[in-house]
Amino acid sequence: LINGYMGEFSCGHAGFMAVGAYVSGILTVWLFAEDKVFGPPVLPAAWAIPLFPVALIVGAIAAALVGLLVAIPSFRTRGDYLAIITLAVNYIVKSAIENLEVIGGPRGFVGMKRVMNNMTDVLDAPWLLIWAFIGAIVTILIIRNFMSSTFGKGVEAIREDEIAAELMSVNTRRVKVIAFMLSCGLAGLGGGLFAHWPGGYINPGTFTILKSTEVMVMVYLGGMGSISGSIIAAVGFTLLLEVLRPLGLFKWVVIPLLLVIMMLFRPTGILGNKELTDVFPRLRAIFSEEENYALAGD
């Protein structure tokens, strides 16, 4: 949303992801799991399933509020200052978490696995995959609807020419702040899901500039203005990381070389500014028919 649609350069989203991960993780452990720090659970384990999305939303809101604190001073400037500020925020968040011993400090925070086990005890199902799928769909719908709104048109206008957008009565600062908050909130949502991944363990060392770099690679590899391209790149890049895991640190020599080769042949990314519906017109026809049926039903 920021690096692609708005054309700004943010390189610290791992910090906002960390905020969402820790807030959601702490909230679910406090509410639904036995913990040596927080004591017995506040609510019955059966409530974990319906209230888990609420914990994710709280984490997303916390990340969005941190994003607001960053956006207000950042967008008073122009150019590459946002990259510098977000990078600094990434380190600030990481350092702050490392110094909070109550949540494990540099050792990390555990307990989320017990929350997921409680869900499975209530109803045996692959809950994390279900929540991850729902989260992905919700994220796609939010971004798609936002970009179709007046604010989304303002974001695109800022990317093309910010001065011209201001002359056309676009409140560029307001649009930037709202878009940045939304982007940070979605990063926090992803962080909340990440915190509950198998193992149920997070630590500050996970949310470094390397994690932010991985996110940026997915965006640029998929295409700066393509949601479906980013999804394809995210899946492909994640699979590539797993395939090359046996190489250890050497994989960070192989992966950049592959990315350089990719960018030489496809500098705009896999899909560029297009979506899958643009590449495969039949998909557009299918979605158009579904929308027409929905409108007819209404």
Per-residue pLDDT tens for 204-227?
988 988 888 888 888 888 877 778
Domain layout of the chain by residue ranges: 13-207, 208-298
Q: What is the pTM of this model?
A: 0.86
pLDDT band at 16 (very low <50, low <70, confident <90, very high): very high
Give me the pLDDT at residue 284, please.
60
Give me the pLDDT at residue 134, please.
93
Token pair recorded at residue 58: 């709280």
Per-residue pLDDT tens for 101-116?
888 888 888 888 888 8
Q: Are 232 and 270 in contact (CB under 8 A)?
A: yes
Average pLDDT of the chain, as a whole number = 84
Burial class for 59, CB neighbours closer than 10 Å (0-12, 13-18, 19+)? buried
E strand spans, the chain? 109-110, 201-202
Per-residue pLDDT tens for 48-71?
888 999 999 999 999 999 999 988
Give me the pLDDT at residue 62, please.
96
| Residues 46, 38: Cα–Cα separation, whole Å | 19
What is the CA angle 167-170-172, rounded to 5? 105
